[in-house]
Structure 1
Amino acid sequence: MRGNAQATQERLIKAAAQEFAAHGIAGGRVDRIAREAQSNKAQIYHYFGSKEALFDAAFDALVVQTTRAIPMDPGDLPGYAGRLYDGYEQHPEISRLAAWYRLERAEQHRPIESVIRSSLDKVAAIEKAQLDGLLPTHFTAAELLTLVLTLAATWTAHPPEYHYVAQQGNVRPRRLVTESVAALLSVGKSSLPPAAGPQAPAS
């Protein structure tokens, strides 16, 4: 029974992610979610309590899934940004759910723990890389993470009309993302501590 309940919840979360990505919370319909998940509305309220809580569960699951599928390497932030870009292109529901969350949920609800935990872990990893001399300190770790995440999601934030304009201008979005992050890191190269080398013998 426990396995069946977990499988039902997973189907509901998957169906909810697609429904809310397309219609938001206000426009999302629990009857469509239940039908897609081969379930019923009673089970939605039994497992999640409300439509809003189901949205939170779907968003939380997507954050956890993305974090596991695209781990951050602080030693290769351009590559990380590129992989995030790929993830957003392959799964547009990620950026759409994030947008709906900001519009309909963020100011009315306590922050989702998985988002906070994931962000704090990344900030800590960047801070350590800065202390180890692998990353410049021109930006704080939190600032650098914000810039990397923003650049990776820039393309998905533009309306389709801009995509057409960019194509006419021969814009290559993935390369633009990775090279922009690399340029950010080069801005602060002078802030890197000098590499430790062999000490000269005392005279």
Structure 2
Amino acid sequence: MDTDERTASSPRPRNSAATKERLLTAATSEFAEFGLAGARIDRIAERAGANKRLLYVYFGDKDQLFEAALHRQIGKLAQETPLADGDLIAYAAARFDFMLAHPETARLAAWLRFERHGDSSQTEIDSYRAKVDAIATAQHEGRINDGISATDLFAMVLRLTESWLDVPPALAAATGTDPRAPHRLGEHRAALLEAVHRITAPRAGESGHATDA
């Protein structure tokens, strides 16, 4: 740890960007594990190897740090799971892979629903709105099923991408295999993409009227 990160009298550490990144990474892990109420500033600072004072300097308080950590995860998710052309099969594959690699994202979202009663950031709202608009455009162009509203179709695909990653323990046990075993994850990923293909494939000769933006 650099001396200027430890010294409370130093208002602007030279490596402030690196320190902020470490604090955000540590905060993401802490909030994912304990939620907003259970997270501790001391543990976050210790995880980051930074002076606790810097957390307040950069982020204000614990609530604002939670918002910053959530905002960063939403940004990563949006960047790695684009849906510009309404290709829901590619989107489902990318989202499944992302959520598998970043389980803290789902945990942060769960804590947000539990502790803040589903409060949503404008960034998240805008991201979802853009994706629903892309699906609606693809429906109007006849590239995907237009018999289900764009919003409903997107909501279904969202849940499908996390269905096995959030499977009830009893159902996982009923398979007789480790649900996180590579071969089982591969089997489910293939089943996921087949399911998305079936519900999004355009219906020949039909023009639906359920699309929305």
Match of 2:149 among 140, 145, 155: 140
Q: Does 2:94 correspond to 1:80?
A: no
Aligned to 1:118: 127
Q: What is the deviation of 1:159?
A: 3.8
Distance 1:3 1:143, change over 3 A: farther
Aligned to 2:195: 180
Cα shift readout 1:40-70 (whole Å, capped 9, x = no counterpart): 2222222222212211110110010111122
Q: What is the deviation of 1:131?
A: 1.3
Aligned to 1:101: 112
Q: Structure 1: which 5+ residue stretches go unaligned?
A: 194-203
User: Quick one: percent identity of the two aligned structures?
Assistant: 36
Say if 2:27 and 2:66, in contact at 8 Å, map to a contact too. yes
Q: Let me know the Cα RMSD of the aligned residues.
A: 2.5
Q: Structure 2: which 5+ residue stretches go unaligned?
A: 1-11, 208-213
Bigger fraction of residues in helix = 1
- What aligned pairs does 1:20-39 form with structure 2 within 5 A after superposition? 20-39=31-50
Cα shift readout 1:142-178 (whole Å, capped 9, x = no counterpart): 1111111111011222244432323549962212211
Say if 2:27 and 2:44, in contact at 8 Å, map to a contact too. yes
Say if 2:80 and 2:94, in contact at 8 Å, map to a contact too. no
Distance 1:102 1:5, change over 3 A: same
Aligned residue pairs: how many?
Answer: 191
Cα shift readout 1:171-199 (whole Å, capped 9, x = no counterpart): 6221221111112124x614754xxxxxx
Say if 1:123 and 1:142, in contact at 8 Å, map to a contact too. yes
Say if 1:13 and 1:58, in contact at 8 Å, map to a contact too. yes
Q: What is the deviation of 1:94?
A: 1.2
TM-score normalised according to structure 1 size: 0.83
Cα shift readout 1:121-141 (whole Å, capped 9, x = no counterpart): 101111111111111211111
Distance 1:153 1:64, change over 3 A: same
Distance 1:32 1:159, change over 3 A: farther
